[in-house]
Chains A and B, each alone.
Chain A
Amino acid sequence: MSVPSTSLQTSPSGIARLRARLAAPPEAAKRVQFRRPLLPWLLLAPQLAVVATFFYWPSAQAVISSFYIEDPFGFGATFVGLDNYADAVGSSEYIRIAGFTVMFTVIVTVLSLAIGMLLAVKADKVIRGRPAYRTALIAVYAIAPPVAGLIGMMLFDQHIGSIVRFAALFGWNMQVGLSYWDTAFAMIVVAVWLQIPYNFIFVLSGLQAIPSAVREAALIDCRNGLRRFRTVILPLLAPTAFFLMIINITYALFDTFALIDVMVKDKPANNPITLVYKVYLDGFRGNDIGGSSAQSVILMAVVLVLTLFQFRYIERRVHYG
Chain B
Amino acid sequence: MASIDITGVSKIYPGAAGRSVTGIDLTIADGEFIVLVGPSGCGKSTLLRMVAGLEDITEGEIRIAGRRVNDLEPADRDIAMVFQNYALYPHMTVRENMAYGLKNRKTPRDVIEARVAEAARMLELGPYLDRKPRALSGGQRQRVAMGRAIVRQPAAFLFDEPLSNLDAKLRVSMRGEIRRLQKRLGTTSIYVTHDQLEAMTLADRLVVLNGGRIEQVGTPLDIYHHPASTFVASFIGSPAMNLIDAEVSGNRVVIGDQAITLAAPVQGIGGPAVLGIRAEDLHPAPSGLLFRVDLVEELGAQRLVHGHVSGQGLTLALSPAHPLSETMTIAPAGPALHFFDVGTGRRIGDTAAARTGAGVMA
Contacts and interface: CB of A to CB of B under 8 A. Distances in A.
A220 interface: yes
Interface in A190-233: 211, 213-214, 216-224, 227, 231-232
A227 B104 contact: yes
Contacts of A227: 104
Q: How large is the interface on B (under 10, 10 to 19, 20 to 34, 35 or more residues)?
A: 20 to 34
A236 B91 contact: yes
B345 interface: no
Contacts of A223: 73, 75-76, 104
B80 interface: yes
A221 B104 contact: yes
Given A214-B89, A232-B89, A236-B91, A220 B80 contact: yes
Interface in A125-139: none
A19 to B, nearest CB: 23
Contact of B81 (A217, A224, A236): A217
Interface residues of A, number: 19
A99 interface: no
B85 interface: yes
A213 B87 contact: yes
B73 to A, nearest CB: 6
Nearest to B89: A232
A220 B89 contact: no
Contacts of A220: 52-54, 74-75, 79-81, 101
A235 interface: yes
Interface string B91-114: 100000000110010000000000
Nearest to B54: A216
Interface string A36-49: 00000000000000
B140 interface: no
Nearest to A219: B74
A227 B73 CA distance: 15
A182 to B, nearest CB: 43
Given A211-B85, A216-B83, A217-B83, A222 B54 contact: no
Nearest to A231: B100
B250 interface: no
Contacts of A231: 100
A25 B101 CA distance: 48
Interface string B143-183: 00000100000000000000000000000000000000000
27 contacts: A213-B84, A213-B85, A214-B87, A214-B88, A214-B89, A214-B90, A216-B52, A216-B54, A216-B87, A217-B81, A217-B83, A217-B87, A217-B88, A218-B89, A219-B53, A219-B73, A219-B74, A219-B75, A220-B80, A220-B81, A221-B75, A222-B104, A223-B104, A227-B104, A235-B91, A236-B90, A236-B91
Given A216-B54, A216-B81, A223-B104, 6 more contacts: A213-B84, A214-B88, A216-B52, A219-B73, A221-B104, A232-B89
The 5 closest A-B pairs by CB, nearest first: A213-B87, A221-B101, A223-B75, A217-B87, A222-B104
